Structure 1
Amino acid sequence: MNHVLCGLAANPALPPELVDRLIAAADDDIAAQVAERQDLTRTQAAALVSRVEQSAVRLAERGLVTADDVDPAAQPLAALALLAEGAGRPAWACLLATDPVVEHREQLAACPGLPAEVQEILAADAEPRVVAELASQASSDMAARLAAHPHAGVRCAVAANEAAPPAVLAALITGQGLPPARSCLACDRKETPFIHDPQCPRLDCDLPPGAACDGSHGSTVHQMQVNALWNPATPAAAVAGFADHPSMPLRWPLAVRPDLPAAAYERLAASPEAGVRAALAENPAIGDDLIAVLAADPDPDVRRGLARNPRVPLEVLTRLAGSTAIGSTLLPRIAAASRAEIGELAASPDPAVRMLAAERRDLPPEIRDALAADPDAKVVKSIAPHPGLPDVWLRAMVERHGARVVAKVTKNPDAAPALLEDLARQQPPVRKALREIARHRNATAPALLVCLADRQARPLAAAHPALPPQVIAELLADDDWRVVEAAAANPALPSEVMSKLAPWR
């Protein structure tokens, strides 16, 4: 990979004639960067597709390539990209439905709005993965048909399709009403009984870890059940019975469903895995009694999950704040709190509760200022990035609490250039603060030069347009490829340097 040219391809200040030169010499990596340019013209986009056909995927998403720019016989990937965006021609789908390349038919099967005759061709494809791709996004009628497909992998794909009829999804879970599947990916490849080594060393092996078949297609059937349980279109009555299933992957999706009976949630709360209980704790469908049970769970991940529940009562949330490390995050219940509730939280004698309110970024000035003057450094760290805080308040925070709050102060969008310079020079340096300064819109050249001395802040500083142009040019020879790409992408890179870097045809 040429990191200089990849960075240059992303440089927003690159003149059009240099973009043309990059396109003429583009490889996959450079093309990926050029395809993201906001100033790319239709002519340049067509030239890029001619050079690197795979770039058509992103260009089609952006509407920069049209059907008039593509020859489906010579550029099947470009044609598939347009079909995926609904911008291709129906005749292309008919042509590609019999393409000898399996991957092309598989990509076609994922395209929306395919003509009925093309869907029929794909549904009868000899390659199960092509049919499975069609099944994963097929209409209700087609999904119902493919649920009876002889290959278990196709049925597995139907189970994940939210357009599949609820009765069909229920049947896929139980197997009732459907003819037995005759094959799966495992018995397609191996003589049964077979269990695939989860640590398989073969680099060319495409069997999933743990794939197993003894004639019943066990691992595929299990995954089909998992898919159906995650599918919100599967009826609650068909899935509730899995709430105490011994397989954790079959219980986990139930923990997040909003439509189960209370008894099912209670059984899930008894799951031995903290991950299942934590997912349940976040579910806004659980009742107050279960919230109380989960609030006393011995695992901190479960209590943190409950803190993220948008329906958790404030009195429970405040107790959790005092006993569980929630971290610096705006919780849903706090985001929805009324002004009166925020005022009560901000006046709490518990600093952990005041921290909850301090994460809001729309606080009334009087509450914001009171929290900015809080004696507890953890509260000040939470409020420090709040917009609107004057420079004198930010400096006072650092004066009172020192290095503990510096990184959060530098994260404030209104931090003044002079303040950022002073904080960059702090000794010993606060490395998190240097990274924040390096990406701050108000950072100045003196502050950025200090940031260059830090390994993690250096790539961020190299991308900042306030860095002196001669320094940016010097960074093109840096030992760290991240720094090189960032410098090449910096819009302050001198145009004469850009011209020297861009390849000639």
Structure 2
Amino acid sequence: MRHVWAGLAENPGLPREGVERLLALESPDLSTELAGRTDLTDRQVLALAERDAVAAGSLAASGRLTADRVDPERQPVAALALLRAGLGPVEWAHALCERPELRARLASCPVLPPAVSRRLAAEPDLAVVIELAEATTDPAIAALLAAHPSEYVRQALGFNESAPAAVLADLIGNRPPLDSCEVCERHPVPWVHPPDCPDPDCTLHPGAACDGSHGFARETILQAALGHPAAAAADALTHLAAASPFLRAQLAARTDLPASAYATLAADPQIWVREPLASNPAIGEPLIRQLADDPSEEVRRSVAQHPRVPLDVLDRVCTTVRLGPLPVPRIAAATPAELDALAGSANRELRRLTALRRDLPDPVRDRLADDPDPRVAAAIAPHPGLDERQLRAMRQRHGRTVGAGIAANPDAPTALLAELVHGEHNVATLRALATHPAADGPTLTACLRDPRARRRAAVHPALPLARLRSLLADPDPSTAQGAAANPSLPPADLLRLLPPPRG
């Protein structure tokens, strides 16, 4: 019954008595689901915040848990949630640091008193120090952690968005040098992790190795630091000829390198270096055109995602690769005049990409709605502003190909939605219909034939009550939970489904 009770906890129509009965449950704990409710009393908010850290974070983020009602000594979990959200006094950290079970989460707070940060940095529990390295915004603490003997702490610091340039320079330059690594602490060197490692409890990375220079550990630190936007370009460029393609790929994504470096990377033999380079907004048109002819489909697909790819290059590239269901950045930024030209292109894939925009000028939208190509029509079908006549004409012209698109159109009328389940259709149409606000009871009932559509229809307020009640016993837990969360369930049904009162 947990999934049903979880749905009830999310149901806005659940009477106050029901909230209390769910709150009283010890197993299963429904704190996370209950925390999303908007009708909680102050007492319930505090009870949930102290019971569950995730619920506490949600309540703090929504503003329902406030510092004036929390005592960090009596309610440490709630206090920690406020501190992590930046909504509690930083002085609370002193009291919370006295609780070992909370130190790792405390270390993830971006702002802490220096004395607390220094204490956490000296923790023997590496998980605590790693959390601190990932989150700290204190330059002095970051500099201290850059000299930590663990490669994992240094790597975490390299991913820290607040790491200063000087600290990143030390990480890139291996200052101070690593004295050891996890590999040589476990095995005599030289040692390479065998691909068929016989130890079932081994936690080392498949590529881990050490010859005494700790090169593998150094590479993990560099992968984090080289891609950091605050790392100086001059420091990053010292690894332009790195043996590891993963390090060169980090450089390929940077936007502050000289043109000569990008030219070198464009000639790299590894696809996963050229791929991030191809969409890098810092490269110029000559390299874009060069990479558009790359033998790798992945690289050409990345070219199509470049925000300034020339339209003639995009025209050529999009016929050689499969692109996704979202407009590419260049078309998303196209001017009205460019959109008009794109809608009239002889390239049907270019027209399809244009049709994926949802803010097209009306004349462009209407032109694409009349497009003879079914993939273009399917892409434009969900566009707001299309009237019933246009949607019916598209359906008559293209049949089931445009069914899902019409079902996703916010302006599609109820009668047309109902017709989509009577003719030839696919499951994508049913899944779109199941969430449409204008879908009526018979249409939603037809959607129950598909398991994924049934999950979505279970929460639709227009689903007939008899069908809704039957879904409460559905073998799929997510469907049953959705049905229990449906606001159309009468209060009597909600109370009947609740666990019995305690005592």
Query: TM-score if structure 1 supplies the norm length?
Result: 0.91
**Which residue in the other structure is 1:349 paired with?**
346
The residue number in structure 1 matching 2:60 is: 60
Equivalent position of 2:356 in the other structure? 359
Distance of 1:133 and 1:52 partners within structure 2: 20
1:258 has 2:255 as partner: yes
* Number of the residue aligned with 1:412: 409
Give CA deviations for 1:287-341 in whole Å, capped at 9, x if unaligned.
1111111111122221121111111111211222333322332111111111111
Aligned pairs for 1:195-234 (under 5 A) are 195=192, 207-234=204-231
- 1:169 maps to amino acid: L
> How many Å separate the matches in 1 of 2:250 and 2:488?
49
Q: Which residue of 1 aligns with 2:158?
A: 159
Cα gap change, 1:11/1:93 in structure 2, threshold over 3 Å: closer, same or farther? same
- The equivalent residue for 1:106 is 104
1:479 match: 475
- Does 1:326 find its partner at 2:323? yes
How far did residue 284 of structure 1 move?
0.8
Alignment of 1:275-314 (within 5 A): 275-314=272-311
For residue 123 of structure 1, the aligned residue among 106, 112, 121 is 121
Q: Which amino acid aligns with 1:444?
A: D
Matched, 1:435 2:428: no
Determine the structure 2 residue equivalent to 1:135: 133
Separation in structure 1 between the aligned mates of residue 374 and residue 66 of structure 2, nearest angstrom: 56
**Greater mean alpha carbon deviation, residues 152-161 or residues 195-204:** 195-204
Report if aligned partners of 1:9, 1:22 keep a CA contact under 8 Å in 2. Answer: yes
Range with greater deviation from structure 2 (131-140 or 313-322): 131-140
1:424 to 416, 421, 424: 421
How far the C-alpha of 1:223 sits from its partner, in A, is 0.8
Question: Secondary structure in 2 aligned to 1:106?
Answer: helix
| Bigger Cα displacement from structure 2, 193-202 vs 449-458 | 193-202
Kindly report which structure 2 residues correspond to 1:30-109, keeping only aligned pairs within 5 A, or say none. Answer: 30-52=30-52, 55-67=55-67, 69-70=69-70, 72-73=72-73, 75-101=75-101, 104-109=102-107
Q: Give the equivalent residue in structure 2 for 1:497.
A: 493
The answer for unaligned runs of 5 or more in structure 2 is none
Matching residue's letter, 1:62? S
**Aligned counterpart for 1:452 among listed residues 441, 448, 453:** 448
* CA positional deviation for 1:502: 1.7
Give the TM-score, by structure 2 length.
Answer: 0.92
Report if aligned partners of 2:395, 2:402 keep a CA contact under 8 Å in 1: yes
Q: What whole-Å deviation, never above 9, does each CA across 1:324-380 have from its counterpart, x for those lacking one? A: 322332111111111111111112222222223222222222221121111111211
Counterpart in the other structure of 1:14: 14
Confirm or deny: 8 A CA contact 2:307 2:329 kept in the other structure: yes
1:469/1:494 contact within 8 Å kept:
no
* Aligned-partner residue type, residue 107 of structure 1: R
Q: 1: distance between equivalents of 2:193 and 2:333? A: 49
Moved more, 4-13 or 443-452: 4-13
Task: Measure, in 2, the Cα distance between the counterparts of 1:51 and 1:354.
Answer: 54
Deviations for 1:108-130, whole angstroms, at most 9, x for unmatched residues?
A: 12113211221222222233332
Aligned partners of 1:185, 1:5: CA distance in 2, in Å?
Answer: 46
Q: CA deviation at 1:63?
A: 2.7
Separation in 1, partners of 2:50, 2:163 = 39
By how many angstroms is 1:86 displaced? Answer: 2.4
C-alpha distance in 1, partners of 2:67/2:377?
56
Distance 1:372 1:387, change over 3 A: same
Q: Confirm or deny: 8 A CA contact 1:23 1:51 kept in the other structure.
A: no
Aligned equivalents of 2:149, 2:324: Cα separation in 1: 50
**Aligned residues with identical type, % of pairs:** 49
CA shift for structure 1 position 212:
4.0
CA contact (8 A) 1:244 1:268 kept: no
- The whole-number CA distance in structure 2 between the counterparts of 1:197 and 1:59 is 47
- Distance verdict in 2 for CA 1:201–1:436, change over 3 Å: farther
Matched, 1:461 2:457: yes
| Structure-2 separation of matches of 1:110 and 1:28 | 28
Between the aligned partners of 1:325 and 1:499, the Cα distance in structure 2 is 51
Q: Say which of 324, 327, 333 aligns to 1:336.
A: 333
Name the SS of the counterpart of 1:242 in structure 2.
Answer: coil
Check the 8 A contact 2:50/2:78 in 1, yes or no. Answer: no
- Relative to structure 1, is the Cα distance of residues 358 and 151 closer, same or farther in structure 2, using a 3 angstrom cutoff? closer
**Contact conserved, 1:291 with 1:312, CA < 8 A, in 2?**
yes
Tell me, yes or no, if the aligned pair for 2:53 and 2:81 is still in contact at 8 Å: no
Structure 2: distance between partners of 1:256 and 1:179 = 27
Relative to structure 1, the CA distance from residue 180 to residue 328 in structure 2 (aligned partners, 3 Å threshold; closer, same or farther) is closer
Shift of 1:248: 2.2
Once the two structures are superposed, residues 241-280 of structure 1 have per-residue CA deviations (whole angstroms, 9 ceiling, x without a partner) of 4334231221222221111111221222223333332211
> Does structure 1 retain, via aligned residues, the 8 Å contact 2:304–2:314?
yes
392-401 vs 360-369, which moves further: 360-369
Runs of 5+ consecutive residues of structure 1 not aligned to the other structure:
none
- Residue 360 to residue 155, structure 1, CA distance change in 2 (3 Å): closer
